[in-house]
Amino acid sequence: TQERRQELTKVARRMAEEARVAIRNVRREANELAKSFQKDGKITEDERDHVLKEIQRYTDEHIAKVDELLKAKEADIMAV
């Protein structure tokens, strides 16, 4: 029924949000690690900046992928 499809869509959205949060948590941990490496002198400031940009790029890519999958799943669920 339509109500059941809407419930499933809500579940899918919740799961997608949980995935986004997990991705952002990984980003935060990676950023902290890069900053600690720079602070300890293991990498230069320029290298740290490059790593932070790469981390952000990967984060954006993966969040976009989650959004794509959610959109496809919602369309699949709502198809009659």
pLDDT digits (tens, 9 = 90+) for 21-73: 999 999 999 999 999 999 999 999 999 999 999 999 999 999 999 999 999 99
H or E element: which one contains 7? Answer: helix 2-39
Domain count, the chain: 1
Q: What is the extent of the structural domain holding 9? A: 2-78
Above 80 in pLDDT, residue 80? no
pLDDT at 14: 98
Any idea what the CATH number is for the domain that residue 71 is in?
1.10.132.20
CA distance 34 to 31: 5
Both tokens of residue 19? 């995935």
On whether the pTM is more than 0.75, the answer is: yes
* Predicted pLDDT at 18: 98
Structure tokens at 52: 């932070």
Q: Which single residue is written with the structure tokens 């890519």? A: 61
Higher-confidence residue of 36 and 80: namely 36
Residue type, 50: H
